[in-house]
């Protein structure tokens, strides 16, 4: 039997990178996936690919910084499949490596809206469903930037630290209600999250304090390597793992 047979999962940021890898793996393992992403074309391409393979998917264009979009995403899952068993909060954006003395309010607010407020509101929405049936799994995609202080700028770093706190609090509080909440903290990954960063424009302070540590990274992961962890955490194989943060960084943070 496949690991997620007949489970209903919501995956945000599903149309590319890690979200796409998770969606492909979940559907291959029997899940019915509500794939949410802001990129409609990429989302439709993913839907076509999965349906061609016989998987079950509902595509929902979603801006996770928008509370109405999150509500619609969850409602679409219930309309299409009757419930929600698994939520994967994967959608996220990078900052521009600005330290606290330089970060602009607009960037701070945008990063927090996507990386923190979106997952929190999605969790709150699905918890109503999960508590009623006393079962549910939440997987939050954090980062080693949520465990360390120099993998990004202050906005991204703060948002991922907050996601880890959100994960631990939720996992502990609802542990007796049949709900598990865990996080994955990837290191560098071959995705498009950092493509908008102009590394030639980083400040002298950032180049002196952050960039030297980047050279210690053993390698970047393929999204499928981290997706395997998301599958494990969502499955019954991880039934006694709750409130935990699984680091997947190839040993980068072990230094």
User: Any idea where the domains of the chain sit in the sequence?
Assistant: 8-248
Domain 8-248, classified CATH 3.40.50.720, yes or no:
yes
Per-residue pLDDT of the chain (255 residues), as tens digits, is 899 999 999 999 999 999 999 999 999 999 999 999 999 999 999 999 999 999 999 999 999 999 999 999 999 999 999 999 999 999 999 999 999 999 999 999 999 999 999 999 999 999 999 999 999 999 999 999 999 999 999 999 999 999 999 999 999 999 999 999 999 999 999 987 767 677 778 888 888 888 888 888 999 999 999 999 999 999 999 999 999 999 999 999 998
Catalytic residue among 156, 174, 199, 255: 156
Residues in the chain: 255
Task: Determine how many CB atoms are found less than 10 A away from the CB of residue 208.
Answer: 10
Q: List the one residue out of 221, 119, 216, 213 whose CA is nearest residue 169.
A: 119
> Is the full-model pTM beyond 0.75?
yes
Which secondary-structure segment (H or E) carries 136? strand 136-141
Give the DSSP H/E element, type plus range, for residue 81.
Answer: helix 67-81
Check if the beta carbon of residue 10 is closer than 8 Å to that of residue 122: yes
C-alpha 173/C-alpha 180 separation (Å) is 10
Q: Mark whether 255 is an active-site residue.
A: no
CA 111 to chain centre: 14
């Amino acid at each position: 039997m496949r690991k997620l047979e007949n489970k209903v999962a919501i995956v945000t940021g599903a149309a590319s990178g890690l979200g796409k890898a998770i969606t492909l793996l979940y559907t291959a393992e029997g899940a019915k996936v509500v794939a949410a992403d802001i990129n409609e074309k990429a989302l439709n391409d993913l839907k076509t690919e999965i349906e061609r393979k016989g998987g079950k998917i509902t595509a929902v264009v979603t801006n996770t910084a928008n509370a109405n979009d999150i509500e619609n995403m969850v409602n679409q899952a219930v309309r299409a499949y009757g419930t929600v068993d698994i939520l994967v909060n994967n959608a996220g954006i990078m900052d521009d490596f600005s330290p606290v003395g330089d970060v602009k309010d607009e960037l701070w607010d945008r990063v927090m809206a996507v990386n923190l407020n979106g997952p929190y509101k999605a969790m709150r929405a699905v918890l109503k469903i999960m508590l009623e049936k006393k079962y549910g799994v939440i997987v939050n995609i954090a980062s080693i930037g949520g465990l360390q202080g120099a993998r990004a700028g202050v906005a991204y770093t703060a948002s991922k630290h907050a996601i880890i706190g959100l994960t631990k609090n939720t996992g502990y509080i609802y542990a007796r209600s049949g709900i598990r909440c865990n996080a994955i903290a990837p290191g560098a990954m071959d995705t498009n999250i950092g493509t908008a960063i102009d590394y030639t424009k980083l400040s002298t302070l950032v180049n002196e304090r952050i960039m030297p540590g980047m050279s210690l990274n053993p390698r970047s992961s393929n999204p499928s390597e981290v997706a395997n962890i998301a599958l494990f955490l969502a499955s019954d194989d991880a039934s006694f793992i709750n409130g935990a943060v699984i680091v997947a960084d190839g040993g980068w943070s072990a230094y």
